[in-house]
């Protein structure tokens, strides 16, 4: 990426897109790179014509493809069909427009929740297509798996450099803090904020025993920029903290309780779904390429996210 390049980030206004903006405009700023962070207002990427117009206007040389219908366990449980159809359309439109416009490299985003539910651990990059995903989010998962199929097919038939990353659960500033739609960490932050304000108990959904590896959005952004510039493979790469850094939902809740100095009653609503018990992923491939990469300590990242939430409460998604 030595020459002048124009990098289009689809889904540029979301959690991951805004983290990439922070890093690309800051510590990773390069004079030859021009970044364009697109929202759904720039183009509805499930619409082919709108997608093609966006590419004609921006003329990207590189694409980080984040745009997607995204949600936590409870949104997925309700809308498997919409997750499948919307994301399949978006992915086909973005990759086809990238091909037709001669984009040099595309990095798309999969997720560790797309891996088979019945599996051996740790999960690695070779296992994406091994067996059915967890039933709670099969629509999202199958459409995401097809990105890997498209990447390999564009490469084999046309020599395109289209690849993908597989992040674990992401959290940070600009997250979706809506309780119905969002993921667990922003949900916990929002619920503790309300419990503190209203002097009510804080309720964790489910048993608290499922386990997750959380990655801070700014760490993910650093790694995705590296993937765009330097990762040479078409095959995906898992972007995750180590297996030893996996925590239970209960431990994640305790980290938020500590960060927000919540002193009230904590309850568990076991009538709510636990979802997938775990999806422990190996970051051995990442460590082979980036042995020295330092992840932000979990408690520090949670604290920074809580601070951002409190400072931006009036305007954030909730």
Q: What is the contact surface with ligand NAP in residues (CB under 6 A)?
A: 11-17, 39-41, 44-46, 66-70, 90, 109, 111, 167, 169-170, 176, 183
Region of 172 please: left (phi>0), alpha (psi -120 to 50) or beta: left
Specify whether 140 is catalytic.
yes
Residue 205 site contact among ligand GDP, ligand NAP, none (CB < 5 to 8 Å, cut-off depends on kind): ligand GDP
Report the b/e string of 276-290 with b at 16+ CB within 10 A.
bebbbbbbebbeeeb
For residues 150 and 184, which CB has a smaller minimum distance to ligand GDP in the complex? 184
Q: Which of 46, 48, 223 is nearest to 143 (CA)?
A: 46
Q: Label each residue of 109-124 as H, E or C.
A: ECCHHHCECCCCCCEC
For position 206 contacting ligand GDP by CB under 6 A, the verdict is yes
For residues 105 and 134, which CB has a smaller minimum distance to ligand GDP in the complex? 134
Segment lying near ligand GDP (by CB under 6 A), choices 80-88, 114-122, 141-149, 201-209? 201-209
Residue 187 site contact among ligand GDP, ligand NAP, none (CB < 5 to 8 Å, cut-off depends on kind): ligand GDP
CA distance 240 to 114: 15
Question: Between residue 113 and residue 132, which ones bind ligand GDP under the rule CB under 6 A?
Answer: 113
**What is the sign, positive or negative, of the torsion defined by CA atoms of 66, 71, 76, 82?**
negative
For residues 62 and 212, which CB has a smaller minimum distance to ligand GDP in the complex? 212
CB of 261 to ligand NAP, least distance (A): 25
How many amino acids of this chain bind ligand GDP (CB under 6 A)? 23
For residues 58 and 195, which CB has a smaller minimum distance to ligand NAP in the complex? 58
DSSP strand pairing (214-216 vs 33-37): unpaired
Q: Which two tokens stand for residue 300?
A: 């520090």
CA distance 162 to 177: 31
Given the residues 79, 84, 140, 154, the one annotated as active site:
140
Residue 41 site contact among ligand GDP, ligand NAP, none (CB < 5 to 8 Å, cut-off depends on kind): ligand NAP
Residues marked as catalytic:
140
């Amino acid at each position: 990426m030595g020459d002048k390049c124009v990098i289009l980030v689809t889904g540029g206004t979301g959690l991951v897109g805004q983290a990439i903006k922070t890093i690309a405009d800051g510590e990773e700023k390069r004079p030859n790179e021009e970044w364009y962070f697109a929202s759904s207002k720039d183009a509805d990427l499930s619409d082919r014509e709108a997608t093609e117009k966006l590419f004609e206007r921006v003329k990207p040389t590189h694409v980080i493809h984040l745009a997607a219908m995204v949600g936590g366990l409870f949104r997925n449980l309700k809308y498997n069909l919409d997750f499948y159809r919307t994301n399949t359309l978006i992915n086909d439109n973005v990759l086809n427009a990238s091909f037709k416009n001669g984009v040099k490299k595309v990095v798309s985003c999969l997720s560790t929740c797309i891996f088979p539910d019945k599996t051996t651990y740790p999960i690695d990059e070779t296992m994406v297509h091994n067996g059915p995903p967890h039933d709670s989010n099969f629509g999202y998962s199958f459409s995401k798996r097809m990105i890997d199929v498209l990447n390999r097919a564009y490469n084999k038939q046309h020599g395109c450099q289209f690849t993908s990353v597989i992040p674990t659960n992401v959290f940070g500033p600009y997250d979706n803090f809506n309780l119905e739609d969002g993921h667990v960490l922003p949900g916990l932050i929002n619920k503790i904020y309300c419990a503190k304000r209203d002097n009510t108990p804080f309720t964790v959904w489910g048993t608290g025993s499922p386990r997750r590896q959380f990655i801070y959005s700014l760490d993910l952004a650093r790694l995705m920029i590296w993937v765009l510039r330097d990762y040479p493979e078409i095959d995906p790469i898992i972007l995750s903290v180590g297996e030893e850094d996996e925590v239970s939902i209960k431990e994640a809740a305790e980290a938020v309780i500590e960060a927000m100095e919540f002193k009230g009653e904590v309850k568990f609503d076991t009538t709510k779904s636990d979802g997938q018990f775990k999806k422990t992923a190996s970051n051995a491939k990442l460590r082979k390429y980036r042995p020295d990469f330092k992840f932000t300590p979990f408690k520090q990242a949670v604290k920074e996210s809580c601070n951002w939430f409190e400072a931006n409460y009036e305007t954030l998604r909730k």
